[in-house]
Amino acid sequence: MAEIWYDAIDPLTLTYASRDYAREYQEKQRQDSHLSSYLPNFNADDAKVSLDVLDTQRPTIALNRAWDAEPAQGETLQSGHMTFKLPPLTKKIALSEFQKYVARTGKPGTEAVQEKVLGAAFRAVRAIDDALEFQRGQVLTTGKTVLSFPGGHTLENDWGRDASMSVTAATQWSDPDLNIVEELRKYVELYEDKNNITPGVLLVSRQIATAVANNKRMALQGLNGLYSAATLDQVNAHLGAYGLPTMRVYNRKIRNTAGQDVPVLDPKNIYLLPAENTYDLGATFMAPTEAALDLGWPLSDAAGIYVGAYKNTEVPVIASVTADALAAPALANPNMAFTAKVLN
């Protein structure tokens, strides 16, 4: 039987240390790119989340009326309401009896034990962040939140993205003669017609960024007639001259349960998304965990990831660190995530 390992570190102290680490970890990832910039974290009061989905289409124009005349019957505001339950997302890391013993005897007091516990906690928190980032990548690619359970079982929540917002390019962007500006302009116009806003960013893989930089309309031609690849700044200056969104490179990978490093976003796709740090597209919802509420924590402490250290009260006296969250990304306006497959 396991109990909370208070003599190592109490759950509240461990949880807050882990949350601080998680924020630092996310900020470091954002230096390249982190999808929470487009699906920001949002603390919900409980695991049952409700979303009001407003119609983003342009309204029909207003009409004049004669003096003293009643207004003509206008349109009815179209909106949707979606409710879903946040699933638990958990990572448990074991500390063997021998690891505990060595830590306890290697340094005075509980210092070494706390180092072991904190190391395991930070690793568990990274695992949760990676899982949420992968779920964000899947929901941006497919329009569906995909939940993964032990044994390879999955559960999908389809947010209803229009099929026109996921296309395949007629000509591959690896073609150096392709007019990429015209191709991108078509996609941006489609996005604007569907959402009534201009996309804030063009997210691409390093592979696609290389193809764009080597495109003859982007690359620089020297006096010898040979082309040299454009820099990212030069590409964005060219796109900006045509009123097109800034291109950002996203190349993050996570390690799946099979031990394989896999890309979060499809490296063959481009992604048109809203501006960063808004809730236009949706959010990554997080609710208080049962583990935190069971300890009597107020909502101000319980909201977010919970981390606790546990030890077995019987031989073998093994221990573990568990990070637990009620969290998942959701799309309030799924058509604001446009994808196009531009490479084979």
Q: What are phi and psi of 33, to 5 degrees?
A: 175, 145
- At 45 the pLDDT is 87
* pLDDT tens by residue, 148-197: 888 888 888 899 999 999 999 999 999 999 999 999 999 999 999 999 99
Residues 50 and 20 in one domain: yes
- At 108 the pLDDT is 45
Whether the predicted pLDDT of 106 surpasses 60:
no
Residues 168 and 144 in one domain: no
Residues 147 and 179 in one domain: no
In sign, the C-alpha dihedral spanning 238, 244, 248, 249 is negative
Residues 137 and 14 in one domain: yes
- At 32 the pLDDT is 72
DSSP string, 155-170: EEEE----GGGEEE-S
- At 81 the pLDDT is 63
SS3 state at 33: coil
Domain end (from 227, 248, 269): 248
Lowest mean pLDDT among 59-63, 233-237, 258-262, 283-287: 59-63
The DSSP letter of residue 149 is E
Is there a contact between 272 and 202 (Cβ–Cβ < 8 Å)? yes
CA–CA dist 107, 104 (Å, integer): 6
CA–CA dist 134, 140 (Å, integer): 10
The DSSP letter of residue 245 is P
SS3 state at 85: strand
Q: Locate all alpha helices (DSSP H) within the chain, ordered by sequence.
A: 11-30, 97-106, 111-142, 180-195, 206-213, 232-241, 290-294, 299-302
Bridge partners of residue 168, in order along the sequence: 341
Q: In what order do the strands lie in the sheet with 246-249?
A: 166-168, 338-341, 269-273, 201-204, 246-249
Longest CA pairwise span in the chain (Å)? 91
Residues 94 and 230 in one domain: no
Structure tokens at 111: 């210092």
Instruction: Tell me the HSE value of 76 on the side-chain side, using a 13 A CA sphere.
Output: 3
CA torsion 216→222→223→226, rounded to 10°?
-60
Distance of alpha carbon 161 from the chain centroid: 17
Supply the mean pLDDT for the chain.
88
Q: What is the mean pLDDT of residues 132-148?
A: 95
Q: Locate all alpha helices (DSSP H) within 227-324, ordered by sequence.
A: 232-241, 290-294, 299-302
| pTM of the predicted model as reported, rounded to 2 decimal places | 0.88
Residues 235 and 179 in one domain: yes
**Domains in the chain: how many in total?**
2
Q: What is the mean pLDDT of residues 249-255?
A: 95
The pairing of strands 79-85 and 227-228 is unpaired
Q: What is the mean pLDDT of residues 70-98?
A: 77
SS3 state at 272: strand
Tell me the CATH number at 152: 3.15.30.10
101 band by pLDDT with thresholds 50, 70 and 90: low
Residue 110 lies in a domain: yes
Residues 10 and 107 in one domain: yes
Residues 9 and 143 in one domain: yes
Is there a contact between 61 and 299 (Cβ–Cβ < 8 Å)? no
* pLDDT tens by residue, 23-41: 998 888 877 789 999 999 9
Is there a contact between 146 and 156 (Cβ–Cβ < 8 Å)? yes
Residue 266 lies in a domain: no
CA–CA dist 117, 122 (Å, integer): 9
Q: What is the mean pLDDT of residues 62-86?
A: 73
* pLDDT tens by residue, 305-335: 999 999 887 777 678 999 999 999 999 999 9
Domain residue limits at 24? 2-54+82-162+279-341
SS3 state at 313: coil
Burial (Cβ within 10 Å: 0-12, 13-18, ≥19) of residue 12: middle
- At 22 the pLDDT is 92
Residues 192 and 234 in one domain: yes
